[in-house]
Amino acid sequence: MTSEAVNDATRKAWRDLGFFYDRDDETKEWKLVGSRSGLLRFRTLLLLYVTNPRSAENSEHDHYGPYMYLKVMTASQPGIDRGAIHGSVQDLRRLADLIETKLKNTGAGSVLRIQEEFAVNYEYSLLLDVRDEDFDPASADPELSKSAG
């Protein structure tokens, strides 16, 4: 594939996902950027994950997005760390509910933080950066902004 073909495929993958994500190890944040409806797609991914019977087993996991480093994993304790957003299926369902509740009456320009209400004593937090409904998640990818598109 040509470089532009790879970039086009990456843009499509972000758009299909509905949001852009990145992990900042300095600020210890997983940042999801998207429209309200795009960010609700992360909630939907969590709900799909927890309803899959194989997800009940510890260490089961799924990767998301074009770069595949956003990982949701089944674990005995809820947490957000460098490697994954994790917890029991009940914990992850609770996270999906938290996301839905926080986004319910939120408009573009809001930045919502989820940390202690999901996982106490974890260094990383989950940030939801809410943009306008016409936001293109591919536009937030710095690798793609280096080329036209």
CA distances from 83 to 22, 61, 99, 143 (A): 12, 11, 20, 21
Tell whether 73 is covered by a domain: yes
CB count within 10 Å of CB 70 equals 20
Q: Containing domain of residue 112, as a range?
A: 21-136
For the chain, the straight-line distance linking the first and the last C-alpha, in angstroms and rounded, comes to: 16
What's the average model confidence in pLDDT over 80-89? 96
What are the φ and ψ backbone dihedral angles of 68, each rounded to 5 degrees?
A: 60, 20
The answer to whether 107 touches 119, Cβ cutoff 8 Å, is: no
pTM for this predicted structure:
0.93
Q: How far apart are the C-alpha atoms of 70 and 63, rounded to whole Å?
A: 6
Tell whether 66 is covered by a domain: yes
- The helix (run of H) or strand (run of E) holding residue 125 is strand 125-131
Instruction: Note the pLDDT tens digit of each residue in 91-147.
Output: 999 999 999 999 998 999 999 999 999 998 888 999 999 999 999 999 999 999 775
pLDDT at 149: 46
Total count of domains within the chain: 1
Tell whether 16 is covered by a domain: no
Instruction: Note the pLDDT tens digit of each residue in 58-73.
Output: 999 999 999 999 999 9
Q: How far apart are the C-alpha atoms of 49 and 85, rounded to whole Å?
A: 12
Encoded tokens for 50:
């927890």
Helices (H), 25-88: 36-51
| Mean pLDDT score of the chain | 94
Res 25 pLDDT > 90: yes
